[in-house]
Amino acid sequence: NAGVTQTPKFQVLKTGQSMTLQCAQDMNHEYMSWYRQDPGMGLRLIHYSVGAGITDQGEVPNGYNVSRSTTEDFPLRLLSAAPSQTSVYFCASSSQGASDEQFFGPGTRLTVL
Amino acid sequence: AQSVTQLDSQVPVFEEAPVELRCNYSSSVSVYLFWYVQYPNQGLQLLLKYLSGSTLVKGINGFEAEFNKSQTSFHLRKPSVHISDTAEYFCAVSSNRDDKIIFGKGTRLHILP
């Protein structure tokens, strides 16, 4: 099993550009989530999903969109990138939701100029 | 809504000395508590978790934590640290009321030779 994979590993955008961060898992996990990690701020929940077709907002959802059309994939879209979105983004998944161990991807380091 | 406070942003400790990393939480409902570790340039991995039952929880790499409901704390301890424990440690909380996991801001553990 590959576990949780994220692409790309690094990305540089200009302000106003859009892009999609990809996240996939091969463990048949129902629960998936996106976090951003900033120095001194820990991990902050952006969006999460408890299953295909179901998504909900986390602590910092503004500027980000998600969809969950399959169990395996949970892409994160930045519609119009801003310098404040410069961060490291982590995707995670678990089989039993928020009460279970979360398996994290390796992260995507995004810089917005 | 839940919240997590990690009282120390950095903890220096000599190799083979004991260490305690402090975590306090706030919640109006029953909680699930977790400690995760992040080694440099990697994603997070689970150290241990408390769901119910015994308040003393043992995890990987010799770590343990004690759930104290009256003090709303879940401090992480290790009796003797090694240089390989150099990492950032995150406390996290969730509940059975919603599907969100809230992370603390992290504690960097520095092992001194």
Q: Is B46 on the interface with A (CB under 8 A)?
A: yes
Q: Which residue has the higher pLDDT, A18 or B27?
A: A18
Q: Do the Cβ atoms of A57 and A108 come closer than 8 Å? A: no
Model confidence at B96: pLDDT above 80: no
Q: What is the pLDDT of residues B9-30, one digit of tens each?
A: 999 999 999 999 999 999 878 8
Model confidence at B40: pLDDT above 80: yes
Give the separation between CA B110 and CA B95, rounded to whole angstroms: 31
Average pLDDT over residues A37-58: 94
Give the separation between CA A17 and CA B33, rounded to whole angstroms: 38
pLDDT confidence band for B66 (50 / 70 / 90) = very high
Contact between A40 and B104 using a beta-carbon 8 Å cutoff: no
Average pLDDT over residues A42-66: 95
Q: Which residues of A touch B (CB under 8 A)?
A: 4, 31, 33, 35, 40-45, 48, 50, 56, 58-59, 90, 92, 97-99, 101-102, 104-107
Mean pLDDT, rounded, of chain A: 95
Closest CA to A35 of B6, B21, A52, A94: A94
- E-strand spans in chain B? 3-6, 10-14, 19-21, 23-26, 31-38, 44-50, 56-58, 64-68, 73-78, 87-95, 102-103, 107-112
The proportion of chain B whose per-residue pLDDT surpasses 90, expressed as a percent, equals 79
pLDDT score for B72: 93
Pick from B43, B45, B99: CB nearest A48: B99
Q: Do the strands B107-112 and B56-58 form a parallel or antiparallel pair, or are they unpaired?
A: unpaired
Give Dmax over CA atoms of chain B in angstroms: 45
